[in-house]
Structure 1
């Protein structure tokens, strides 16, 4: 009976998301390029915010951040809280220029600013990162976490590997339906509904945990939590010489900030939602709303690691079991199915968003310019669906075999993104703010950065890798500017207004951004030696 209730509530919530997504998109014209890849440029701020939050949140964040705080302290929250600054930069600096150019992909802007070769190099790097690492890893890690939490292998009497393989297929097929057949609008709508569920369901876990600690009293539970968890666990401000998985405080203003600017302001799977906004005002609302949402992450993700420490002490064999163990301990059976559906939605969101971005990058940046320059919109959409189906099948087939990879492979692959993240950010910023830097500058910078980053991997540097990015990003910027001085382009670059959308900014964008920044400082103060870590 217990398992039946879990399954029925899971199916009900997942079905509700699918029904709402279908209803909201059934009148959409998906035969045009903008209709399929950019949701007809009709997304509103709330939909953008929900989709951005859910695209970012997956099992890596839900399980990983809680596991990191369980084994260290609240410093893991910086990946979310620090992202608010990047999102405010997206709203105030990047979006006005992106929407003015009327682009569909980030590499498309680089073609406008530099040349087609630069665009295709960056598109290839994005596609390589998504195809070879992100899509299969999202499927595998999502299936692994889902199985850890709900023990589907025990429920159905199968091996753990079989359970993970089945879950990879389920996540891949359902995610593909949204991304391939519904286009960006279906992805964004489903993300928004799942985002509401994640926010409610995610907050319920710490609330239920605290109530259990207080024998039914929330206030008594908070008192128990603060009293019985060591004060240093609440600290999010770590020493400057801290090593991974801890985060040194200086990198909050350097390497981590640069990394977040790359992720939130130039990463195609993130940016595509904002490029699909009705106008600049709605795009800015979406970015700023997401910045506020990131300030909530510590209170329903990172804090769960400390709550797990209160419940289990040092008794967990693996820190990544902190979040799953807490859920199965505090969530009642009747609610477990809904929590399962919410987590399933978070996993789906990361997969279908990345898949939709891969399809967009290939179709618009490679297929049309290289193979069929006169292709109609309907043909491009058809090609996109076929490519998406192929990518999904490959990802589903590869995902289960990630279990055979060496321990820590995912962390290694994530760190490998440093090979191109900083130069891409530097190239976009230089493209914005200079007029004479030539097309050869980004190519030279990419090569030099890869060489320097590779050298850093072989040097006996006992420093956090974010310090390496802290140095290399300014080097990338300086190199591009130096090339611009030594070999400037013949004419000034002028960014023309494409008239794609209304560029009137949101009138409250600056006050809202300032409020968000102040709240971010308050969150850091709460989890510091002047707050709960006294």
Structure 2
């Protein structure tokens, strides 16, 4: 059994050709649509069609962490991780039918701008700097770290070389083509990544002897997605209670995700694109999770379960397909970096530079600043990833956990802001400025088992409890200290829809109903 890929000349040629096509497509679209303003750079001129939106979000979600990490999770726990895909449709529905209309009605370009419209300057300031720091560290530097380590191992090159190469390629078409180029290359990249994973799975099934053999030769508990309440990894109640907190934060308020819906040419295209993403989520576990189970059958007793996908690639694929699979991994890394640095630059240029440094800057000046920030931020992220590669890799797990504990205050203020008109600025500010350090402090104590491991519930259950506390806190403060004027509150959802060009929303709801039926069948089958 090999854990490193023997790269042939043909495979190397395929990788180079694919990356050249990827960059070429991005540059082609950047020249086809001229970038004249910051809106063109960061939101593609708000011109994306629904399928570009859906595939672009899908590509943001399909990262090297998913390709490699999902294999390791399935190798040890089976299908339980499917919850993170099959529960997502609820929050994509919330994004499409509740948040997107409000985002379009307020004509915002970034998430801090939305809080400015809803709660005022202090909430805007908090989320502006939070978004920049979290995006640069979590969405770019750590993606470069994890993806770069995988690619460096596969290609047997130094980590810095993988990080520099990915950064240069991502920056090359992000700075020139902006989100429009990113979204359109995302359509290409998502197709290739998916096909590569499907090919690996089909070859593995054939090697095992068919689907029946896969089921009979794997542990029975691998095929249920609800684990007992005393399960130490993913107890069912912790998943069902905790995922909504992270789901709202990630799918409805994260700049890297929401920015791609804001680039849609209309609410309708944004909603259909989000619906496409929800439909694709039904397929994700079958494509990216099952290979881990196949690897468990074919290569038991792996010392490092996270290497499951790499072991499959190294031992099952013939010459040529190895190149396509590795190209897909590299493309996924490049795409995630491109989305991250574009989101960082959008927040800095539109929220910091245009409102603090030079309030009267022209759209063309903001475009130039945005491009410079894209180049500068990608360079900083690259240096950070190289620095982080020299320390314990457990730092990545810690960063993900800290991100999870930042979700409760943001989920609270965004959700309360769109569903409850009486939510006040004072309550939102207190929730953000007091709730964030509270959640980080409690999260750090839980991660370090202080004062004792038995004292803490599962981290997803703890996240739910923190959010419940903050929602009650925000409601109480809002009622005790009502807003003197309600000018900052948002219109109702009905008013928001009424202000937009009319279209037949019944078709959208029919689509969501079909997705609900599919998801219900999947849970009936695996629950």
TM-score above 0.5, yes or no? yes
Matched, 1:134 2:139: yes
- 1:380 is matched with 366
Summarize deviations over 1:320-352 as a string: whole Å, max 9, x none: 111110111221111111111111111111111
Matched, 1:472 2:466: yes
- Contact 1:251 1:257 (C-alpha < 8 Å) held by counterparts: no
| TM-fit CA distance, 1:178 | 2.3
- 1:523 is matched with 522
- 1:156 is matched with none
CA distance in 2: counterparts of 1:95 and 1:451, whole angstroms: 29
- 1:532 is matched with none
CA distance in 2: counterparts of 1:201 and 1:353, whole angstroms: 22
SS of aligned partner of 1:76: helix
Matched, 1:230 2:219: yes
The correspondence of residues 373-452 of structure 1 with structure 2, limited to 5 A, is 373-452=359-438
CA distance in 2: counterparts of 1:503 and 1:124, whole angstroms: 37
Range moving further from structure 2, 417-426 or 61-70: 417-426
| TM-fit CA distance, 1:390 | 1.1
CA distance in 1: counterparts of 2:143 and 2:401, whole angstroms: 16
Summarize deviations over 1:290-333 as a string: whole Å, max 9, x none: 0011111111111111111001112x111111111011122111
- 1:288 is matched with 275
CA distance in 2: counterparts of 1:69 and 1:448, whole angstroms: 38
TM-score (ref. length: structure 1): 0.91
CA distance in 1: counterparts of 2:521 and 2:21, whole angstroms: 37
- Contact 2:409 2:436 (C-alpha < 8 Å) held by counterparts: no
Summarize deviations over 1:255-312 as a string: whole Å, max 9, x none: 1122011101100000000001111110001101000111111111111111110011
- Contact 2:30 2:178 (C-alpha < 8 Å) held by counterparts: no
CA distance in 2: counterparts of 1:98 and 1:240, whole angstroms: 38
| TM-fit CA distance, 1:439 | 1.6
Matched, 1:304 2:287: no
The correspondence of residues 78-93 of structure 1 with structure 2, limited to 5 A, is 78-93=83-98
Matched, 1:14 2:9: no
Matched, 1:322 2:316: no
Range moving further from structure 2, 371-380 or 1-10: 1-10
- 2:255 is matched with 268
CA distance in 1: counterparts of 2:499 and 2:337, whole angstroms: 29
CA distance in 2: counterparts of 1:381 and 1:326, whole angstroms: 44
- Contact 1:86 1:265 (C-alpha < 8 Å) held by counterparts: yes
Summarize deviations over 1:441-470 as a string: whole Å, max 9, x none: 122112332354213524533421110111
- Contact 1:449 1:476 (C-alpha < 8 Å) held by counterparts: yes
The correspondence of residues 98-497 of structure 1 with structure 2, limited to 5 A, is 98-148=103-153, 150=154, 152-153=155-156, 162=158, 164-214=159-209, 221-243=210-232, 246-314=233-301, 316-453=302-439, 454-455=441-442, 457=445, 458-460=450-452, 461-493=455-487, 494-495=489-490
| TM-fit CA distance, 1:2 | 6.2
CA distance in 2: counterparts of 1:226 and 1:413, whole angstroms: 36
Instruction: Please point out which of 87, 93, 100 is paired with 1:95.
Output: 100
| TM-fit CA distance, 1:498 | 12
CA distance in 1: counterparts of 2:152 and 2:392, whole angstroms: 20
Relative to 1, partners in 2 of residues 1:521 and 1:43: Cα closer, same or farther, differing over 3 Å? Answer: same
| TM-fit CA distance, 1:407 | 4.1
Summarize deviations over 1:384-424 as a string: whole Å, max 9, x none: 11111111111112212322222421111111013421211
- Detail structure 1 runs of 4+ shifted over 3 Å in the superposition: 493-507
CA distance in 1: counterparts of 2:174 and 2:18, whole angstroms: 19
| TM-fit CA distance, 1:232 | 1.4
| TM-fit CA distance, 1:438 | 2.5
Range moving further from structure 2, 172-181 or 305-314: 172-181
CA RMSD of superposed structures (Å): 2.0
CA distance in 2: counterparts of 1:464 and 1:231, whole angstroms: 24
- Contact 2:405 2:463 (C-alpha < 8 Å) held by counterparts: no
| TM-fit CA distance, 1:48 | 0.7
CA distance in 2: counterparts of 1:241 and 1:446, whole angstroms: 33
- Contact 2:27 2:176 (C-alpha < 8 Å) held by counterparts: no
CA distance in 2: counterparts of 1:427 and 1:505, whole angstroms: 31
- 1:157 is matched with none
- Contact 2:52 2:184 (C-alpha < 8 Å) held by counterparts: yes
Range moving further from structure 2, 110-119 or 22-31: 22-31
Matched, 1:75 2:75: no
- 2:3 is matched with none
- Contact 2:48 2:264 (C-alpha < 8 Å) held by counterparts: yes
Unpaired runs of at least 5, structure 1? 154-159, 215-220, 529-534
CA distance in 2: counterparts of 1:393 and 1:448, whole angstroms: 33
CA distance in 2: counterparts of 1:55 and 1:502, whole angstroms: 29
- Contact 1:279 1:503 (C-alpha < 8 Å) held by counterparts: no
- Contact 1:278 1:501 (C-alpha < 8 Å) held by counterparts: no
Relative to 1, partners in 2 of residues 1:365 and 1:69: Cα closer, same or farther, differing over 3 Å? Answer: same
SS of aligned partner of 2:125: helix
- 2:67 is matched with 62
